Chains A and B, each alone.
Chain A
Amino acid sequence: MLDFAYYPGCTLKTTAKHFELSALEVCKILNIGMSELPRWNCCGTVFSLSEDDLMHNLAPIRNLIRVEEMGKSEMVALCSMCYNTIKRANAFILADESRLKTINDFMYKESHKYEGSVKVLHLLEVLRDRIGFERIKKYVKKPLTGLKVAPYYGCALLRPEGAGIDEADNPHIMGDLLRALGAEVIEFTADRECCGSYHVVSKPELVYMRASNILDRVIEEGAEALVLSCPLCDFNLDDKQKDIIEKDTSRKPVPIFYFTQLMALAFGIEKEKLGFENHAISPTPLLKEKNLI
């Protein structure tokens, strides 16, 4: 049985609860052990891009100390931003021995010094490389036949080189997974575009512009729903879509799913466990139309 250390991150415990719940249900079925870090802290959400800045790598590395203390060598994240931040912080600290030493010296109260043995993974990688999409097909009880979905990667799963889990300009990992679930996959042209990220706080008009563009392309290219793995993309594309539609009521709503919700649905897990009621744009009418709930 696969057995990983699992890092949830802040948002999976609050607004993206349904991402965590559906992921853990799916992992149970696939026999993937996910032991939550006994004491975790916020990763900082964004990797520090300054060469001279060790300080902002403390938070991610402290989490990796916990992983080593658990006796594990692989840590899985679900949130794309947590994955990207911790993976990059790990690589940055390990690229230079003096960085590792400084950071360990700073955290002198930790009884364990970080040895650099942890590999940071995203759940999608585990599903592709350790389980395999062919095998996943065998667990499908209710194929997502006729559901036209657009996989959306955004930034943190693909960029920059070294942090990406797939080909940066030709990603297909999520599309391959959704095909294995029986869905009709529309690989659309805005699948790698930035949603505007944290500017939803500081410059909301930028996010409205980016989100409208992404959603327009989903519709124009023939998909009915968008699938993702980042709680910030989800907020910008689901919650903010509600504002966009309020301003222009002629717009067709596009339900937004976490990939694990669709896996769980296809695996026959009761819909009550999947948090469909947490969405700003309700997916219920679409799922009913396709006889999936």
Chain B
Amino acid sequence: MINLVFDETTKKFLAKIEYISGINVYRCFQCGRCSADCPSINMMDILPNQVLRFLQFGQVERVLSSKTIWICASCFTCTTRCPKGIDVAKILEAARQVNLRQNKDWLNINIFHDNLTEEEKEKIQKEKDINIIDGKRRAEFPTIALVSATRKLTA
């Protein structure tokens, strides 16, 4: 039997994810169904089932810094298909929340970026792993799109 020993930070974040989601990550038996049915995996860097696997092995940082948790749009396909009844979308939400609650956004619609050049914007986007939406683009969206995006992707 493998005995996993986690450091304090790992323990803290893993407990946080389990607390926010209300899910015990060790219930996942790695069948891969969630990833097989997810419509957005080709834009993700780790698969939804790998999110569960990394958490089981205490690799919380790999999950928290992944693109996957932001790309997931909470479509609940995985949630309805998991044979163990795990609400996978909630795990991904909890990982987003851990970042958001530390003030890490993934979207910025702030007007102060409107005067930046394309190069300057590109630089900030890369450095901070954030998506900047300028005034020209902001105006194009219906309320439903802006409210849901900012609710999901900003602190």
Contact = CB atoms under 8 A, between A and B. Distances in A.
Given A49-B89, A159-B80, A201-B133, A232 B142 contact: yes
A193 interface: yes
Interface in B131-152: 131, 133, 137, 141-149, 151-152
A160 B149 CA distance: 20
Given A159-B76, A197-B73, A198-B152, A49 B93 contact: yes
Contacts of B76: 155, 159-160
A79 B147 CA distance: 14
B19 interface: yes
B152 A206 contact: no
A194 interface: yes
B153 A160 contact: no
Interface in A43-86: 44-46, 49-53, 56, 79, 81
Grouping DSSP codes into helix (H, G, I), strand (E, B) and loop, the A interface class, with mixed when no group exceeds half, is loop
Contacts of B141: 200-201, 235
A196 B73 contact: yes
A71 to B, nearest CB: 29
A192 B78 CA distance: 13
Given A51-B20, A161-B80, A194-B77, A10 B147 contact: yes
A287 interface: no
Interface residues of B, number: 41
Given A193-B39, A194-B73, A11 B143 contact: yes
Indicate the size class of the contact surface on chain A: 35 or more
Contacts of B153: 198, 202
Nearest to B106: A202
Interface in A13-70: 14-16, 42, 44-46, 49-53, 56
B80 A203 contact: no
B144 A194 contact: no
Nearest to B75: A194
Contacts of B147: 10, 42, 44-45
Interface string B38-53: 0110110000000000
B35 interface: no
Grouping DSSP codes into helix (H, G, I), strand (E, B) and loop, the B interface class, with mixed when no group exceeds half, is helix
A193 B39 CA distance: 7
A210 B39 contact: yes
Contacts of B70: 202
A202 B148 contact: no
Nearest to B147: A45
A198 B77 contact: no
Given A51-B20, A201-B149, A202-B149, A160 B144 contact: no
A155 B76 CA distance: 7
Contact of B77 (A14, A159, A201): A159
Contacts of A46: 74, 148, 151-152
Nearest to A213: B39
Contacts of A273: none
20 contacts: A10-B144, A11-B144, A16-B142, A42-B143, A51-B21, A52-B20, A53-B20, A159-B76, A159-B79, A160-B76, A160-B79, A161-B80, A192-B77, A194-B73, A194-B77, A197-B75, A197-B148, A198-B148, A202-B131, A203-B43
Interface of A: 9-11, 14-16, 42, 44-46, 49-53, 56, 79, 81, 155, 159-161, 168-169, 192-194, 196-203, 205-206, 209-210, 231-232, 235
Instruction: Rank and list the top 10 A-B pairs by shortest CB-CB distance, nearest first.
Output: A194-B75, A159-B76, A49-B93, A198-B149, A201-B149, A198-B148, A15-B142, A51-B22, A10-B143, A45-B148
